[in-house]
Amino acid sequence: MDKPINIGIVGLGRAGNGMHLNELKNKTDKFRVAAVCDIIPERAERAARELSCRVYFSIEDMLKDSEVELADIATRTIDHYRHALAALEAGKKVFLEKPACCSYDEFLKLVEYANGSGDTRLYVRQNRRFEAVFNYFLNTVRSGLLGNVFDIRISQMGYQRRDDWQTLSRFGGGQLLNWGPHIIDQALVLLGSQVKSMSSDLKQAAAGGDCEDHFSVYLRGENGRSVSLCISGAAALGQGRKYEAYGDRGAMICENNLIKARYINPEQILPAVVSDPGTPGQSFGSSGTFEAAVTPEWVETEKTIDTEDLSVIWDYLYESIRNGKPFPVTDSEVLSVMKVISAAKEEPIVLSGDIDCYEK
């Protein structure tokens, strides 16, 4: 194996310390933490002692460290653009915590500066693309088991009377920039075509600050499929993640890790439904109204999916940097996510758009 990538972590809060450092503990063959940086000296010094690495209290000083090959940006959302650009200008590769930036325009500038020459130097950590339940759901939708899937719904629900910086717009707060990048990314994958139109609704309900803690986005694809998503920090019931898919031969519902499906036996070929304009009988069902004469043979399944290890994104990052393999979260996909976020923030109702298509 090639030598580990020397990494400098900028920001040791909930993301940098609670997620990034924890995930890197099992990646020591691929990554070596050469430096840490935080504006709170106690945090930085404690991490430096534990990791036996150099310590910095400003990103400018850390970026002068010639040994740091990759800058891992895990600072507040409002600083993502500034910190990522500084690292790129210093000649570092950048692994950027979601959201990529506060706006589409900011991230577009980063992409053009970082990856315009064809040498990828900027990567975004949208790691929930690799969730096991999401991929099982996605593969089922793509398999045709449910027939033509025309409607998909995703929700991420919880209740928190939040009072931290992520409720304040001046720091890049709000659910659109918190959970939004993950769930919008999944929604665009599931849509399976270019966005034809979208609408959105943002509300501040239970949290402090001046940002939305409950929002909905509705996407309609050129393929006729619709995907609606709701993310809430003000939902006292129905908490957790839920996926729903409705097709003309069945449906699937995933609640957290429990998956239920009901679909017509794939071996059963049903004749086309031909409507009768005459007067129906006096009963309901196949002899009367509402149901065709041939009854579907239903199959019902239920299973539980094990929790996954989302640190796999670091393996993809290593393979891209050291071995030139494509990183699975592409610039165009992140740009599409940021375009939806910017549209939802700046224009509550968007009748048509030019959001790029995810590859099928």
How high is the pLDDT of residue 1?
Answer: 56
Lowest mean per-residue pLDDT among 231-240, 267-276, 327-336: 267-276
How high is the pLDDT of residue 242?
Answer: 98
Q: What is the pLDDT of residues 169-225, one digit of tens each?
A: 999 999 999 999 999 999 999 999 999 999 999 999 999 999 999 999 999 999 999
pTM of the model: 0.92
Distances (CA, A) of 116 to 8, 110, 242: 24, 9, 38
For residues 12 and 44, is the Cβ–Cβ distance under 8 A? yes
Q: Where are the domains of the chain?
A: 5-125, 129-310+337-350
For residues 69 and 6, is the Cβ–Cβ distance under 8 A? yes
User: Confidence class of residue 288 from pLDDT cuts 50, 70 and 90?
Assistant: low
Share the mean pLDDT of the chain. 92
For residue 26, what are its two tokens?
Answer: 């099992």
Strands 258-264 and 284-285: unpaired
83 Cα distance to chain centroid: 22
Q: What is the pLDDT of residues 139-166, one digit of tens each?
A: 999 999 999 999 999 999 999 999 999 9
Cβ within 8 Å of residue 198, ≥6 positions away: 217, 218, 219, 220, 340, 343, 344, 350, 353, 355
How high is the pLDDT of residue 355?
Answer: 60
Superfamily of segment(s) 5-125:
NAD(P)-binding Rossmann-like Domain (3.40.50.720)
Give the separation between CA 97 and CA 166, rounded to whole angstroms: 14
Q: What is the pLDDT of residues 278-287, one digit of tens each?
A: 777 766 655 5
Domain 129-310+337-350 class, CATH top level: alpha beta
Give the separation between CA 138 and CA 227, rounded to whole angstroms: 13
How high is the pLDDT of residue 290?
Answer: 66
How high is the pLDDT of residue 283?
Answer: 67
pLDDT mean over 295-316: 94
How high is the pLDDT of residue 352?
Answer: 46
Give the separation between CA 128 and CA 118, rounded to whole angstroms: 26
